[in-house]
Structure 1
Amino acid sequence: MKLQGSCHCGAVHFRLRSAHPYPFNRCYCSICRKTQGGGGYAINLSGQAASLRVEGEEFISVYQAQVGVAADGSPEISSAERRFCKRCGSGLWLWDPRWPDLIHPFASAIDTELPAAPEHTHLMLGSKPEWVPLDSRPQDRCFQEYPEESIADWHRRLGLEVEVGSGSQ
């Protein structure tokens, strides 16, 4: 499926192909919550990094979150790179060199109509503050940390993978 996205001010537009376009994964970690989650969580998708095309790249900044403190007291920085518009602050996507073939756009930045997920995965609930309601349904899955099931595995399990097509964007 071809996904198109943009920031709020319109300075950045992007597109990419995705076999995993269902917005099902609600992450409550402090990084997602504070950089992306107005509702207390963020939702990301999965797309092919090689298919990413960007207009307005000069308006993009990168944030790498501190994920801990090393034994020597220095900050431990995540390898994940969160891209955002430096004009309006909109979160756009996450890329991690551990999975270089993938881009994880934030569902909130996608302009393409996305399919409704039949169930949701609520993850990193151990980081969820009390003020954030957990709106889970009986078919949803909830995890204190990360589940073992990947975005691709979730789509496969439910028979929801879509053709990504080929050719130019």
Structure 2
Amino acid sequence: MKLEGSCQCGAVSFSLESRTPYPFMRCYCSICRKTDGGGGYAINLMGEADSLQVQDTGGSKSSFHAVIDDKESLAERHFCSDCGTSLWLWDPRWPELIHPLASAIDTPLPRPPETVHIMLEYKPSWVEVPEGPGHIHFQRYPELSIEDWHKSHGLYET
């Protein structure tokens, strides 16, 4: 599925191909929450890095490396320096992947059959996490990767 996204002010837009377009996983870690998630979490998708096309009017796309336990993360978090919109994450440990934020995607996304909540150990007390059928919870990382989750639900696009 081709995903198209942009920042709020329109200075940066992008597109990429994704075999895993279902926005099923909410991350509550402090980095995602503070840089990407007004609801107390961020939703990351997965796309193919070699298909990424970026339009940047005026050099507005920037990136930074978050600090985790006094160490700089290898992952590059890309955003618009004009409006502050978080766009995607790229990590050199998995160079073939781009993780766009669902909040930056303009393409209609399919509704996931369940929601996986991760990094709950780090969520603030004011965030209420839905429970019940269709909600899976992990204190840290889930058992399945984004690709494996899509495959296990018959949703991986070939």
TM-based fold match above 0.5: yes
Matched, 1:98 2:99: no
Aligned partner of 1:132 in structure 2 is: 127
Aligned partner of 1:20 in structure 2 is: 20
**Secondary structure in 1 matching 2:103:** helix
Q: How many residues align?
A: 157
CA distance in 2, matches of 1:33, 1:50: 27
2:144 to 139, 144, 149: 149
CA distance in 1, matches of 2:77, 2:69: 17
- Asked if the contact 1:23–1:45 (Cα under 8 Å) also holds between the matched residues in 2, the reply is yes
AA aligned to 1:114 is L
Deviation at 1:137, TM superposition (A): 3.5
AA aligned to 2:29 is C
- Asked if the contact 1:20–1:47 (Cα under 8 Å) also holds between the matched residues in 2, the reply is yes
Aligned partner of 2:117 in structure 1 is: 122
Which 10-residue stretch deviates more, 38-47 or 133-142? 133-142
TM-score with structure 1 setting the length: 0.91
Residue deviations 1:8-59 (CA, integer Å, cap 9, x gap): 0000010000000000110000000000000000001000000000000721
AA aligned to 2:121 is G
Gaps in structure 2 of 5+ consecutive residues: none
Deviation at 1:127, TM superposition (A): 0.2
AA aligned to 2:39 is G
TM-score with structure 2 setting the length: 0.97
AA aligned to 2:10 is G
Aligned partner of 1:167 in structure 2 is: none
- Asked if the contact 1:30–1:127 (Cα under 8 Å) also holds between the matched residues in 2, the reply is yes
Identity of aligned residues (%): 60
CA distance in 2, matches of 1:63, 1:128: 22
**Secondary structure in 2 matching 1:121:** strand
**Secondary structure in 2 matching 1:112:** coil
CA distance in 1, matches of 2:60, 2:106: 18
**Secondary structure in 2 matching 1:111:** coil
Gaps in structure 1 of 5+ consecutive residues: 70-75, 164-169
**Secondary structure in 2 matching 1:138:** coil
Q: CA RMSD in A?
A: 1.0
Aligned partner of 1:158 in structure 2 is: 153
CA distance in 2, matches of 1:109, 1:27: 16
Aligned partner of 1:72 in structure 2 is: none
Deviation at 1:97, TM superposition (A): 0.4
AA aligned to 1:21 is P
Residue deviations 1:130-169 (CA, integer Å, cap 9, x gap): 1011023323210000113100000000001124xxxxxx
CA distance in 1, matches of 2:72, 2:131: 32
